[in-house]
């Protein structure tokens, strides 16, 4: 019989069961009525005294009970903080490793770009040199053509000058012949 009573009590205290929900609702109603009738602070005092009475009357080895509760809480917090610290340290390590990999990749890309720039600069230099040579040879050819044309123009101008002089002489002779007439 004691086992069935103990099971019923456990059901009332196990969160998530219908019995525990009913117990919590009844306690909430009682606390609410106490708040309304005697006030907040008096209700808290009565609740604290009830909990102290439960502790004194219900726990046989009080020192061991308190030690186990305090140790569990402190150990749990230490373990939790230790886990958090380890997780954070691992995240930092992972982040640093990722950053190092990205830096290495960027450095490799930078070296590749630098090589491409050097190759492009060499190609541009060669192209400029070839263009200068081509323009230089074309300039020489144009210069020679201009010199030849200048010589041709000079010869043509001399020929025109001779013709003009001959035409003046002829015109002068004709004028002299007409004046004598």
pLDDT, tens digit (0-9, with 9 covering 90-100), for 150-162 = 888 888 888 888 8
CA separation, residue 9 to residues 75, 96, 157 (Å): 29, 54, 135
Its pTM stands at 0.34
Report domain extents, the chain. 11-58, 63-181
Q: Which of 22, 26, 30 is nearest to 47 (CA)?
A: 30
Burial 113-123 (b: 16+ CB within 10 A, else e): eeeeeeeeeee
pLDDT, tens digit (0-9, with 9 covering 90-100), for 115-131 = 888 898 898 888 888 88
Q: Which two tokens stand for residue 151?
A: 């010589």
Angle at 61 between CA 59 and CA 65, to 5 degrees: 75
Distance CA 49, CA 32 (A): 17
Higher pLDDT, 114 or 7: 114
pLDDT, tens digit (0-9, with 9 covering 90-100), for 25-34 = 888 898 889 8
Distance of alpha carbon 94 from its chain centroid, rounded?
A: 17
């Amino acid at each position: 019989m004691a086992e069935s009573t103990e099971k019923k009590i456990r059901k009332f205290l196990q969160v998530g069961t219908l019995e525990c929900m009913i117990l919590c609702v009844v306690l909430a109603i009682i606390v609410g009525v106490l708040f309304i009738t005697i006030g907040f602070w008096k209700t808290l005092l009565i609740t604290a005294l009830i909990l102290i009475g439960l502790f004194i009357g219900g726990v046989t080895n009080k020192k061991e009970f308190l030690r186990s509760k305090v140790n569990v809480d402190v150990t749990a917090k230490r373990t939790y903080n230790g886990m958090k610290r380890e997780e954070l340290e691992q995240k930092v390590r992972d982040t640093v490793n990722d950053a190092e990999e990205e830096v290495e990749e960027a450095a490799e890309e930078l070296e590749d770009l630098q090589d491409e720039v050097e190759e492009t600069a060499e190609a541009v230099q060669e192209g400029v040199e070839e263009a200068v040579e081509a323009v230089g040879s074309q300039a020489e050819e144009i210069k020679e053509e201009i010199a030849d044309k200048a010589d041709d123009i000079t010869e043509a101008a001399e020929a025109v000058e001779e013709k003009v002089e001959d035409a003046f002489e002829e015109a002068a002779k004709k004028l002299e012949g007409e004046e004598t007439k």
